[in-house]
Amino acid sequence: MNSKPSKTLTNLSSPSRDKHGEFPSPDPERKKQLAAFQKTAGIRFKSVELLNLSFVHRSLSNETGCRQINERLEFLGDSVLGAVCATLLFKRFPEKPEGELAKIKAVAVCEDVLSEIALSLRIDAMLLLGRGEELSGGRVKKAILADTLEALIGALYLDSGFKAVFDFVSGLLNPEIERISENNYHCDYKSLLQEFCMGNFRSYPVYNVVKRSGPDHEQIFLVEVNVNGTVYGAGSGRSKKAAEREAARVALQALDS
């Protein structure tokens, strides 16, 4: 998207809280942007300063030396998001065992899903980035968008409590949970495996094409996936992506056993 960068916080070089214990106040124009965002997102903050802080990316700190960034809020929001999602799944699928619930949750809160939700909320337009990150396309990077959504959730939890954040997150996640459960989450094996690897090994799965066969217009790809030093697969398909999905499915099946 070609959203114009929003103006940054005032007094960015000041301590993390001012002498009254609050976060620095954004300027009047930024306050209008924040008010419009709340209306669109269907939320209401008591502290506009806390809301503003949720959009401050660390790249701004790297360039300006400001201490107000959203990483602590992201840390909190990640846990709150997980709790809300787990509660929704626990109540919605009383017949499903823990392993099945964990698979759905992994997809529902994965980076791809969260970044799409962030775009739907226009978080990309609210981000406060350093110049370097801005020029490198940071406003539409999936990781930044997903992390900022988690920071927003953390900020809302601090500002308004669990019920408010539960209602907000439920509205965002319920359509995704419905979609995932209807598709039996088969189309997201790669996302599931990535989430599993990050959660258990803090590393990404690595896919390798080990064989190609057939004529150019009907090639069959054979792919293996390396998970934390162990090779799983192989998966085959008429495209590299299809073969990778199948390899991810085989790996998940082995890791679940």
Q: How far is CA 64 from the centre of its chain?
A: 26
The amino acid at residue 19 is: K
Among the options 150, 159, 176, 246, which is catalytic? 150
Contact of 155 with 50, CB cutoff 8 Å: yes
Q: Which residues pair with 179 in a beta bridge?
A: none
Structure tokens at 106: 């992994």
Which contiguous run of DSSP H or E holds residue 10? Answer: none
Dist. CA 199–CA 197, nearest whole Å: 5
Q: How far are the Cα atoms of 30, 41, 128 from residue 7, in angstroms, in the given order?
A: 6, 20, 7
Strands 220-227 and 230-237: antiparallel
Give burial (CB, 10 Å; 0-12/13-18/19+) of 46: exposed
Among the options 78, 147, 176, 246, which is catalytic? 78
Query: Does the annotation count 150 as an active-site position?
Result: yes
Q: How far are the Cα atoms of 17, 115, 157, 227 from residue 207, in angstroms, in the given order?
A: 46, 23, 38, 9
Query: Does the annotation count 112 as an active-site position?
Result: no
Question: Among all residues, which ones are annotated catalytic?
Answer: 78, 150
